[in-house]
Amino acid sequence: MVNKKKVAIVGSVGLPANYGGFETMVYYLTKHKNAEVDFTVYCQSIPKEQRLKEYNGSKLIYLPLKANGAQSIIYDVVSIMLSWFKYDSILILGTGGSLVLPFLKIFKKTKTIINFGGLEWKRDKWSKFGQWFLKLTEKVAIKNATVIVADNQHFCDYIFEQYGKKSVLIEYGGDHTTKKEITKDLIEKYPYLNKPYDVSVSRAQVDNNLHMVLDAYVKLPNRNLVLISNYDKFEYGRDLKVKYANYPNIFLQDAVYNLHELDVIRSNSIVYIHSHTFCGTAPSLVEAMNLSLPIISFKVETNLKTTEEKALFFSDSTELKKIIEGLTSEKEKELAISMKEIASRRYTWERISSKYVEVF
């Protein structure tokens, strides 16, 4: 009989997975789980009647805390403390709760796999104190982790250059997305599905460069853009809604959390515009690549690495406009084939799950 490794996963909202990179990853890690691994997933507070004991064959433990917002650090710290003495390994998603690690290590040396998450402290949305605190948690996490996982080669390079430590590259899967047919009822709900259009999906944060994409399409009146975002959650997004509301070729679509509908919108577009600055291997990008969409991406190291420099790249709205004007159906087809080939080779959940099992 095989002695199963007991692994706790902390730092996500929990299961069943809602929209989100870490949550999707936890779902597929537990779905594709190896016979040698026994998972327990720590979950945020939800009403008692909605709680499940198990999901995907993994045990669920609920805390009376929320995974995001003001309680997120406490949620991470409590999850780590509760799991420290009970499991062979702990997979910690993000570095927010890492300040507790040096103290716990005094009592027991539990194998700690930390998913680095990314250069969150660089984002403009944080205050000076917020940036300092996030940089501190990054430093403590990397110093105290048994294994550091990074989801992009650029982050692996950064960790080695900054801290002199090696990390394991494990990206995200994108093969849970599939091409979906447009139906009559969805055309009624999303009338732009009746026209040819390009698509982009982003949170409404300044560093995701939504304004840059919108500025380019203002000057491309014969090309339609569907830009999906949580506009109302941020002042930046609300301002964009006002500024770009009256352009007939621009469709400012509020966030779509129904994954079937999102797949319909994305998979039937002509081109996918990826405008994120600070994401590592962005889930939205590898999903678009898996859908065989031609990719035009903002030019930063992480996006260059994810697409193996085979996408088309822009640094400002003028460059983006010029790229789109120069597109031909032949170039779009060539890009689509190239992106799908990379996605099939690198960004599948079976491959990602097996790489995690190797580090547990």
CA distance 123 to 280: 13
Strand partners, 9: 41, 91
CA distance 222 to 218: 10
Res 43: pLDDT: 96
Q: Per-residue confidence of the chain (360 residues) as pLDDT tens digits? A: 567 899 999 999 999 877 678 898 999 999 987 788 999 999 999 999 999 999 999 999 999 999 888 788 999 999 999 999 999 999 999 999 999 999 999 999 999 999 988 777 777 777 888 888 889 999 999 999 999 999 999 999 999 999 999 999 999 999 999 999 999 999 999 999 999 999 999 999 999 999 999 999 999 999 999 999 999 999 999 999 999 999 999 999 999 989 899 999 999 999 999 999 988 899 999 999 999 999 999 999 999 999 999 999 999 999 999 999 999 999 999 999 999 999 999 999 999 999 999 999
Strand partners, 10: 92
Cα-trace Rg, the chain: 21
Res 134: pLDDT: 87
Cβ contact 263:290 at 8 Å = no
Second-level CATH architecture of 5-174+348-359: 3-Layer(aba) Sandwich (3.40)
CA distance 142 to 113: 10
Res 63: pLDDT: 95
- Sheet containing strand 5-10, strands side by side: 54-55, 58-62, 37-43, 5-10, 89-93, 111-115, 147-150, 168-169
Cβ contact 238:265 at 8 Å = no
Strand partners, 149: 115, 168
Res 2: pLDDT: 60
Burial of 50 (0-12, 13-18, 19+ CB in 10 A): exposed
CA distance 121 to 141: 14
Q: Mapped to the 3 state alphabet, what secondary structure does the chain carry? A: CCCCEEEEEECCCCCCCCCCHHHHHHHHHHHCCCCCEEEEEEECCCCHHHCCCEECCEEEEECCCCCCHHHHHHHHHHHHHHHCCCCCEEEEECCCCHHHHHHHHHHCCCEEEEECCCCHHHCCCCCHHHHHHHHHHHHHHHHHCCEEEECCHHHHHHHHHHHCCCCEECCCCCCCCCCCCCCHHHHHHCHHHHCCCEEEECCCCHHHCHHHHHHHHHCCCCCCEEEEECHHHCHHHHHHHHHCCCCCCEEEEECCCCHHHHHHHHHCCCCEEECCCCCCCCHHHHHHHHCCCCEEEECCHHHHHHCCCCCEEECCHHHHHHHHHCCCHHHHHHHHHHHHHHHHHHCCHHHHHHHHHHHC
Cβ contact 109:88 at 8 Å = no
Q: Domain 184-346, CATH 3.40.50.620 — does that match?
A: no
- pTM for this one? 0.92
Cβ contact 201:209 at 8 Å = no
- CATH 3.40.50.2000 in the chain: give the residue spans: 5-174+348-359, 184-346
